[in-house]
Amino acid sequence: MRRPVARKLSVLAISAAVVSVGAAPPGTGPVEKVPVAVGHGGAVSSVDADASAAGIEVLRKGGNAVDAAVATAAALGVTEPYSAGVGGGGYFVYYDAKSRSVRTLDGRETAPLSADSGLFTENGTAIPFAEAVSSGLSVGTPGTPATWEQALDKWGSRSLGSVLKPAERLARDGFTVDDTFRAQTAANETRFRYFPDTAKLFLPNGALPVVGSTFKNPDLARTYAELARKGAGALYRGDLADDIVDTVNKPPVDPSSGWKARPGDLTAKDLSAYRVKSQAPTRTSYHGLGVYSMAPSSSGGTTVGEALNILENTDLSKASEVQYLHRYIEASRIAFADRGRWVGDPAFEDVPTKELLSQRYADSRACLIKDDAVLTSPVAPGDPRDPASCDARGTAAPTTYEGDSTTHLTAADKWGNVVSYTLTIEQTGGSGITVPGRGFLLNNELTDFSFAPASPAVHDPNLPGPGKRPRSSMSPTIVLDRHDKPVVALGSPGGATIITTVLQTLTGFLDRGLPLVDAIAAPRASQRNAATTELEPGLYDSPLRAQLEDIGHGFRANPEIGAATGVQRLPDGKWLAAAETARRGGGSAMVVRPAP
């Protein structure tokens, strides 16, 4: 039975301590990091206080949510360089308050025009994953600068040069190293030392950066200044483009390291031919609300949407915690089964997006779920074009590995515009290769492709191809009410766990009545059509695990899944910004004018 969301979505109580803060300009001293802020004039939430402050600075100067989102993203390229930057790509979801509509940009990286399905094979065998990652072979044409410029041209009110100023200043003057930055550097230290330019930048004086020290990146400041003067096209044509091509095709390796970085085959034509795709979002109706996200090449919108449709006829608000988690896990399992079979770059693959998001198809899959039993993974995909009720026959498609880096930001302005933006360089540290003299790491995004077909019996829509976008799980999401006004916007990093993190956070907030910050902080479970479900310690060490195991679930521990951020519309023009309370050292929520 369909149930309208009759809860007080805009006035949900905030059970966590709310600390509303303003923002000093980034780079002018330590900025306090808090997970919740409430107030007027707009809001920004990200994983980093300096980055959120950059967005707030732009809002205070009259910029809109798009301007603030680009400013925040550019600052994250400074303070979160292992997760995002101009060497990567992402997906931009925008709500326009005037037209009450959602629009999206696909800024995903692309494979070289010379690539084919054997990009990651030698003599018919897939090359080792670790060898592919730290190589030129893994680098796709970056999409982030083009995304920034197109978003600003379409919906922004400021120039690229204007919104890059806070990040340029932050790169020049430096930011304070925290435990997370040092830990991520330490995790990459071995491979960073393969590449002299990377080691020089991120291992100052040959050592790990010291917590509390100031980290400066003057090369990146100059790169931002060049983009500010010349526009994003400077990365796709000219000297900077030539530097990227040379770095990919002849990775600058330290000869004494013994590392043999495989060369890529990126050309000037690949860069100059790159285009951001402006496309319609996915839309799912969930308990009377409109849930909007990214269509393929991302699998985020279709997979989150299908899972919500599977859950549509279940009243999760009345379910016990065990019943809720069981249903959520099983819906994720089934949606991932269909993701693996059907979703790839629609420029190359016939992706049945509309059918995957139909309620008719979801109902044909939902009947597989039993309250007293667990589906055996891997579950076989269904056929969305010809749904067969409760059909579990067929051969399963695997879940492609995706790095768990990436970052997400959300922004809103005083006019009611909202941005949900997920960007990445793939796994933490990307390819490990820094463009000499330019201050940024290149992505390893092409490792999101399947290296080789998993089974001759199942078509794999995610094999490499010329100019093809690898399948992503990024799920920047905006939820609208019946009047097409925003309820909440959110997203997360985390590779394939992005999908489950967004799904769990949405159901926690919309169905279970959790305040947004609590829905973000709740311990997570991630099922991706595997034999076991990953659990964070808060669930793995709880009595709920044994109760779920009694039904038939199997689990393995994962210390940390995702790092979400979100914004929520409140009455009287107020916004609530929310971020992580602990994951990745906690996130940073800010508003322009804090409420009393």
> What does the pLDDT look like over 133-188, one tens digit per residue?
999 999 999 999 999 999 999 999 999 999 999 999 999 999 999 999 999 999 99
- Residue 198 a catalytic site member: no
Q: In whole angstroms, what is the distance from residue 143 CA to residue 120 CA?
A: 22
Dihedral angle sign, alpha carbons of residues 593, 73, 188, 560: positive
Domain that holds residue 186: 33-278+401-594
> What does the pLDDT look like over 320-349, one tens digit per residue?
999 999 999 999 999 999 999 999 999 999
Q: Does residue 273 belong to any structural domain of this protein?
A: yes
pLDDT of residue 262: 95
CATH number of the CATH domain containing 409: 3.60.20.40
CA distances from 557 to 6, 224, 401, 524, 561 (A): 36, 41, 18, 11, 10
The pLDDT of 282-295, averaged and rounded, is: 98
- Of 406, 422, 500, 501, which one is the catalytic site residue? 406
Q: Does residue 334 belong to any structural domain of this protein?
A: no
Query: Angle of helix 65-79 relative to helix 144-155, nearest 10 degrees?
Result: 160
Q: Does residue 147 belong to any structural domain of this protein?
A: yes
Q: Does residue 586 belong to any structural domain of this protein?
A: yes
Q: Does residue 21 belong to any structural domain of this protein?
A: no
Please count the structural domains in the chain: 1
pTM: 0.94
Q: Does residue 507 belong to any structural domain of this protein?
A: yes
**Is the pLDDT reported for residue 10 higher than 60?**
no
> What does the pLDDT look like over 99-113, one tens digit per residue?
999 999 999 999 999
Residue 467 backbone zone (phi > 0: left; psi -120 to 50: alpha; other: beta) = left
Q: In whole angstroms, what is the distance from residue 340 CA to residue 217 CA?
A: 40
Q: Does residue 384 belong to any structural domain of this protein?
A: no
Q: Does residue 77 belong to any structural domain of this protein?
A: yes
